[in-house]
Amino acid sequence: MDCVDLDALEHQARAKMAPASYAFCACGADDEISLAESLDAWRSLRLRPRVLRDVTAIDTTASILGQTMPTPIMVAPTGRHKLFHPEGERATARGAAAANVPYVIASNSNVLLEDVAAERKSAPQWFQLYYWPNVAEVEALIDRIAAAGFSALVLTVDAPVPGWAPMAAREQHEPSPDIRNINMPGQPMARTAYHPDFVGKVMYPATWRELEWLVKRSPMPVLVKGVLRADDAVACVEHGASAVIVSNHGGRHLDTTVTTAAAVAEIAPALKGKAEVYVDGGIRRGTDILKALALGANAVLIGRPAIWGLTVAGADGVRDVLEHFRIELVRAMQLTGTASIADATRDLLAL
């Protein structure tokens, strides 16, 4: 699969998707301002390349939750992958494993978490968790996740109620017994959150109390995803979180938020020496990854581009997208005189 131009890859994926599937993948909240600005924020940052550095050998190894990985790249949690490929998250996991990239499976995946775990190989897998009101159901799921060998829980905290995405609301996919949120209580048929039935409904009522409980109850590290403020990030770590993912949910729930590029620039210094920081939202180039690292992130997560690759070529497409990002990162490091991830410091950027 040729994914040199990710815009072209998105067009190829759209041509293969049902209209409702594309709307679910592509949508942003309200006027889609955050969706657009997330990409623009990375593009608007300017690099200050160093010259006369030895770049014959580039070291892209990075610390991800304390584990050394070959690249600072992960696959972000995105839901309902059977809307994009018949194998769903199983193919996504296989592609991530082939690229030796950590994969964060979503709560609302359409494949049993045990089947996703079977594709793991040497690449870590984490589980993205929404906190449901029924604690017994959460506990049962945690035990399944642990038994399947997942190495971290990622608690998403930025969508206690659904936002509103007009594109997805207009193109509702028809619920099907073949496409279920199979790891959720009751295995409900998959529906999007952008439906009048869910407006204003508090679906995932996590608070600091629930975070503390989850840290104590979980046999694996707990991360918090959806943080856009330094004070919240510090509080997450004080309440036991092992790391923070700076995210605005892909611009899908609350419009006109601060961009993740701006937020990670504030959060990373606040957590330096305390916890690792990861960031997602609008990463489309190897230069974007390098900029995120220069702002203090330990790694980035790739969302929509992985789905485009999945749609076009299944597991091979996911692998190719991740390899494309790796190649671009190496080239960006070579052209900026950055021989290792440790050399990606803030002075690389014109701030």
Active-site annotation, residues = 249
- The residue among 288, 327, 285, 321 whose CA lies nearest residue 306 is 321
The three-class DSSP label of residue 46 is coil
DSSP, res 126: E
Going by C-beta distance under 8 Å and a sequence separation of 6 or more, which residues neighbour residue 24?
A: 80, 83, 168, 171, 173, 192
**Which residue type sits at 96?**
A
Two tokens at 331? 């080239």
- Tell me how far the alpha carbon of residue 340 is from its chain's centroid: 23
The three-class DSSP label of residue 288 is helix
Going by C-beta distance under 8 Å and a sequence separation of 6 or more, which residues neighbour residue 90?
A: 111, 115, 116, 118, 119
In whole angstroms, give the CA distance from residue 201 to residue 193.
10
The H or E element containing residue 268 is helix 260-271
In whole angstroms, give the CA distance from residue 84 to residue 18.
8
Backbone region of residue 221 per phi and psi (left: phi > 0; alpha: psi in -120 to 50; beta: other values):
beta
In whole angstroms, give the CA distance from residue 150 to residue 139.
15
Two tokens at 193? 């959150």
